[in-house]
Amino acid sequence: MARDAGKKNTNPSKREGKGYSKKFKNTPKKASKAKDTKKSNHAKNPDGIRLNKYIANSGVCSRREADTFIATGLVSVNGKIVNEMGYKVQLSDDVRFDGRRINPEPDTYILLNKPKSVATTTSESKGLTVMDLISNATTASVKPVGRLGRNATGLILFTNDDKLVKKLHSKGMERLFHIELDKNLKASDLEKIKEGLLVNGEKIFVEEISYVENSPKKEIGLKIKNMGNSIIRTIFDHLGYNVVKVDCVTIAHLTKKDLPRGRWKILTKREVELFSML
């Protein structure tokens, strides 16, 4: 009798049942259940979107066809292949079909005239941000294209169109700035900027620079393609000037006309189409 009991205790297949796998021989049964529960909860998350619907809404194919593509391993979520039917995702997830990122939201384009003391960031820990100012504009997951310093003002473009964002970062996006310095800009320094400055071993070029018409020579118009927010101060710091004010007055073909400070607007179809000419 004792011999039979000992034999039973050393037989893992009988103890765990037919589904037992040697791969999980050293895994406690309770931990295995917890893992299964976590997976199930992700799939049944009421706040998520079924993966096949996400794919269909992105214009790739029908839901039925999406199920086939999911089963064959053509779909990944946040870098991992997903084969599970009924799997749910969030709009913030990185979903890719055959390696290409897809998005179920309509392409959205917003132009904001940013006021001073507002951070150009999507972080919620930076106080008042540009995302707060456009919170009522759309439910789409838009992000700012390019940056403006907290104390800078003027135009910022937002979109969820990854194709356009990639194009703008690759080719650059012309922005015209109205800049005020702490003193008049010497004509010789203006010419140096036109020709291109060598700063810390790196050549910095601008598209255009000139004095603002009918204004003191400390007010400058500067057009650049750089997408960052520090190049302007880098240029003038190098030449011994302090930047007092920075205002972005145009982005490509977009202007501040009829857009007061702190307000936003949805771009028209024509305004969006003009980006294809860049």
Q: Per-residue pLDDT tens for 226-236?
A: 887 789 999 99
Enter the CATH code of domain 43-101: 3.10.290.10
Judged by average pLDDT, the poorest of 6-20, 80-94, 95-109, 239-253 is: 6-20
The band of 14, judged by pLDDT with boundaries at 50, 70 and 90, is very low
User: If you ran DSSP here, which 8-state letter would residue 16 be given?
Assistant: H
Q: Which residues are within 8 A (CB) of 142 and not within 5 positions of it... i.e. 6 or more apart?
A: 108, 110, 134, 158, 159, 160
d(C-alpha 260, C-alpha 249), whole Å: 12
* Residue type at 255 in one-letter notation: T
What is the average per-residue pLDDT within 86-95?
89
**Which residues in the chain are classed under CATH 3.30.2350.10?**
175-251
Q: CA angle, 58 as apex, 252 and 50 as ends, to 5°? A: 135
Order of strands, edge to edge, in the sheet holding 75-77?
Answer: 80-81, 75-77, 95-97, 100-101
Global pTM value: 0.69
Fold (CATH) for 109-160+261-272: Alpha-Beta Plaits (3.30.70)
Fold (CATH) for 175-251: Pseudouridine synthase (3.30.2350)
Tokens at 261, concatenated:
């400070």
d(C-alpha 121, C-alpha 39), whole Å: 33
For residue 143, the surrounding DSSP H or E stretch is strand 143-145
- Is the pLDDT at 268 greater than 90, yes or no? yes
For residue 63, the surrounding DSSP H or E stretch is helix 63-71
The tens digit of pLDDT for each residue in 107-144 reads 899 999 999 999 998 877 778 999 999 999 998 889 99
Mean pLDDT for all residues in the chain: 84
**Which residues in the chain are classed under CATH 3.30.70.580?**
109-160+261-272
Total residue count of the chain as it appears in this document: 278
- Our measurement of the distance from residue 159's CA atom to the centroid of its chain's CA atoms, rounded to an integer in Å, reads 8
- Is the pLDDT at 4 greater than 70, yes or no? no
The tens digit of pLDDT for each residue in 42-88 reads 444 556 889 998 998 888 888 899 999 999 999 999 999 999 988 99
Q: Which residues are within 8 A (CB) of 239 and not within 5 positions of it... i.e. 6 or more apart?
A: 189, 192, 193, 197
Coil vs helix vs strand at 245: strand
CB 130 within 8 A of CB 156: yes
